[in-house]
Amino acid sequence: MSGNDTAGLPGEAFFTPGTSSFTEFLAAHRPGLLPTAPVLPAGVRTAPDRFPHGTTVLALTYRDGVLIAGDRRATMGNLIAQRDLEKVHPADDYTAVAFAGTVGLAVDMVRLYQVELTHFEKIEGTPMTLAGKATRLAAMIRQNLAQAMQGLAVVPLLAGYDPTAPDGGRGRIFGFDAAGGLYEKYDFYAEGSGSPYARGALKKLYRPGLTRREAVLAALQALYDAADDDSATGGPDLNRRIFPVVSVITEDGFERLPQEESEDLSREMIEQRTARPDGPHATP
């Protein structure tokens, strides 16, 4: 190989000192690869039915940690664009992120966020704190503000297990707005077009110290209520065997509920709705 032949070798950028942020590395050397790179000319706003949008996602704390869940529907205006969309993803071993908003940008942002956390841990030799993870995700959302103003907003929901938090508060939830505002939420929260109905359901179903099974059923009930009143939210599809994605994060790490468990609990919840179509009453 000649002295000028660098085929197959890392470029100079990989040997340039920088920060532990992979997003900042891309912004400096390959900005076109960022999901926040403009896809529309300045001043152009997209019609609401041009790109798939996903809703609804929610999270709630329970006895062993935190649960995060989402329905499976994506819509384009009044059309169903996808029935089995995955809206809940692990960010690392103890953190998960779910999203509402423009699907294409959201999926790319989640992937970049996963790399961001892995890159930080490899460079620094230690995982980022949960508060640091939330702040880093807020910065990524803020970079997408121009596209959000054009109708291409992405609004994630972050949940994680924080081993440094006091006993009883290790499951933590963070919400965001389209401008990158960061807000820690307590007990439960929901995002997306069906979120007002999901939060309303959780207000009557949530209580401290829920077991895992109780927390899953509460999440399924809340998503069912959202689907009952919001056409952009999909309920359990028994014929296609498409059920909400439910994941939990505990001291043992991230775990997505098996398809069989989600299906069994969804069917149990639907049977309960046969006797009480408007859902269970609040526990005294």
Active site residue 164: no
Torsion of CA 282, 242, 51, 21, to 10 degrees: 80
Taking the C-alpha atoms of residue 263 and residue 27, their distance in angstroms, rounded to an integer, is 42
User: 36, 55, 102, 233: which one is catalytic?
Assistant: 55
Taking the C-alpha atoms of residue 260 and residue 272, their distance in angstroms, rounded to an integer, is 18
Structure tokens at 213: 């099974």
Which is it for strands 171-176 and 65-70: parallel, antiparallel or unpaired?
Answer: unpaired
User: Does residue 157 come out as left (phi exceeding 0), alpha (psi in the -120 to 50 range) or beta?
Assistant: beta
Contacts of 101 (CB under 8 A, 6+ apart): 53, 54, 152, 153, 154, 155, 178, 192
Alpha-carbon torsion (93, 174, 110, 60), positive or negative: positive
Taking the C-alpha atoms of residue 231 and residue 55, their distance in angstroms, rounded to an integer, is 10
Taking the C-alpha atoms of residue 41 and residue 63, their distance in angstroms, rounded to an integer, is 48
Which residues are annotated as catalytic? 55
